[in-house]
Structure 1
Amino acid sequence: MTSLRSALFNLLFLVLTAATCIFGLALLALPRQVMRRYVQGWARLMMWLLKHVCGIGLIVTGREHLPPGPAVIAAKHQSAYDTVVWLAILPDPIYVLKQELLKIPAWGKLARHYGSVAVDRKGGASALKRMVRESAALLTQGHQVVIFPEGTRTLPGHRVPYQPGIVALAAASPAPVVPVATDSGLHWGRGAMARKLPGPITLAFLPPLPRGLPRAALLAQLEAAIETETDRLVRAGGGPAVQPPLVDNSVG
């Protein structure tokens, strides 16, 4: 039954997402806020389908740690679910995403018009500076910027070194950095078409990091906060304990 429900959701996800992208092209001439409401409507529909077709709900804890106004949401990234959920639960989030995604036909145009910040992961220091500059400007405008500090998805029980982009962004803006842990990978495997396992996904907002931390301390505290809570969530859900990364992630 789980496989059939997953297949049905995957089909609906594919068809409805394609239709959303195609019809959304007509909104490119309209203000960004129209596109925002349109894309958030798609995200909330996907969340509704995931709950009612696959039995995957959402539990959010620690909302009191999310301050009003601009914030950097430094979120654990385990599955495609993480790229949908923030559109559904935040008023006007902006994603930091890899540049390759903007090359997807139709979808890339919608994401660009929505205001996503693209990062060329092969662009070196100049690409990092551009990301920081664009993200800091959006924070100044009152947005909540969602960034995945690992820079990629990691399966439950796995870890990779955190990337220094989050440190540069924290240094460039007075907005608080809010760590977020999740166990989404236990229920939505890697890839949009992966099998979906019933049960609640948890997003856990953690206390914002102290301001003025040195670069290395900020990255270390961020990783410790996210990975400790993620490990707890994953183990509580029957998943494997998180293993330490194979590469040192310290920064100067």
Structure 2
Amino acid sequence: MVNPLVVLRSAVYLTGQVLSTLILGPVMLLLSPWPFATRYAAANRWVRWNLWLLRTVCGLSYRVTGAEHIPAEGSGLILCKHQSAFETLALQVIFPPVVFILKQELLRIPVWGWAMATLEPIAIDRQARSVALKQILRDGVKRIATGRWVVLFPEGTRVAPGQRGRFGSSGGLLAQRARCPVIPVAHNAGEFWGRNGFLKYPGVIEFRVGPAIHGADLTATEINAAAESWIESEMARISGQGPRFPGRDDGIPVGR
């Protein structure tokens, strides 16, 4: 049985998220003519507000292991496990400016989608796979060349905790073409905030950042294999610790 306090806190967070998004959307549209750095800084305030709200209201925070592996200079590709919406927030604080590879229809969401479009994501049509791959390679190289980190979820969609999806080839191909470092990221956010889930359970999400895989030195297949091996080995270490798993108490707030 779900703790009523978890439901209440999740409702309060959702209210704060919606209200802040309604404010952010028009602001981002007004900032459209401004440089990317200005737009990104404004959007990042919304990200930090939501992370603060999650920590304060829901008792949900995160900790990072391996941040020293993020290069101090330059940019590259982030290959990250995808389980929930939480990692889309946290990655924007853990890393320097990032752009996401996402499906086109997300940009049609009123207010939020309009705001996201101003941050120059790589929006693809997942039904047209060959066209999407060409776009990822073309636009991904351009974004990396301008100093931004490209975020790619190699399994293509959110995967439930304890499950694995097939790693697509686009990550390795992009890293090889851009001759850039690849940073693998594992986490267990889905154990606290499920896919399309309303409930946000209290606790501390584990983020593991792995050593750089150098795209200039390996084939696309080798890059993907190295990233998948590292991510899945780390997932095996941190999986099953969250409160959505049987036997865990989901009613005690935990946070930093």
Q: Do the two structures share a fold, i.e. TM-score over 0.5? A: yes
The corresponding residue for 1:132 is: 137
* Number of equivalences: 239
The corresponding residue for 1:83 is: 88
Q: For 1:34, give the aligned amino acid.
A: T
Instruction: Output one character per residue of 1:119-175: Cα deviation in whole Å (capped at 9) or x when no partner.
Output: 211122122111111111111121111111111111111111011111211121111
Q: For 1:42, give the aligned amino acid.
A: W
Deviation of the 1:197 alpha carbon: 0.6
> Is the CA contact (8 Å cut-off) linking 1:72 and 1:175 kept in structure 2?
yes
More moved, 155-164 vs 231-240 = 231-240
TM-score, normalised relative to structure 1: 0.89
The corresponding residue for 1:152 is: 157
2:124 to 97, 119, 126: 119
C-alpha distance in structure 1 between counterparts of 2:40 and 2:71, whole Å: 21
The corresponding residue for 1:109 is: 114
RMSD over aligned CA atoms reads 1.7
* Structure 2: gaps (5+ residues): 246-256
More moved, 36-45 vs 220-229 = 220-229
Matched, 1:43 2:62: no
C-alpha distance in structure 2 between counterparts of 1:165 and 1:92, whole Å: 21
Matched, 1:196 2:191: no
1:93 to 86, 89, 98: 98
Instruction: Output one character per residue of 1:54-85: Cα deviation in whole Å (capped at 9) or x when no partner.
Output: 11111011011111221211111110111111
The corresponding residue for 1:34 is: 38
Instruction: Output one character per residue of 1:3-45: Cα deviation in whole Å (capped at 9) or x when no partner.
Output: 2111111121122212211333222232222211110000000
C-alpha distance in structure 2 between counterparts of 1:62 and 1:222, whole Å: 15
* Structure 1: gaps (5+ residues): 241-252
The corresponding residue for 1:4 is: 8
> Is the CA contact (8 Å cut-off) linking 1:72 and 1:145 kept in structure 2?
yes
SS in 1 for 2:90: helix
Sequence identity of aligned pairs in percent?
Answer: 36
> Is the CA contact (8 Å cut-off) linking 2:76 and 2:148 kept in structure 1?
yes
SS in 2 for 1:200: strand
SS in 2 for 1:201: strand
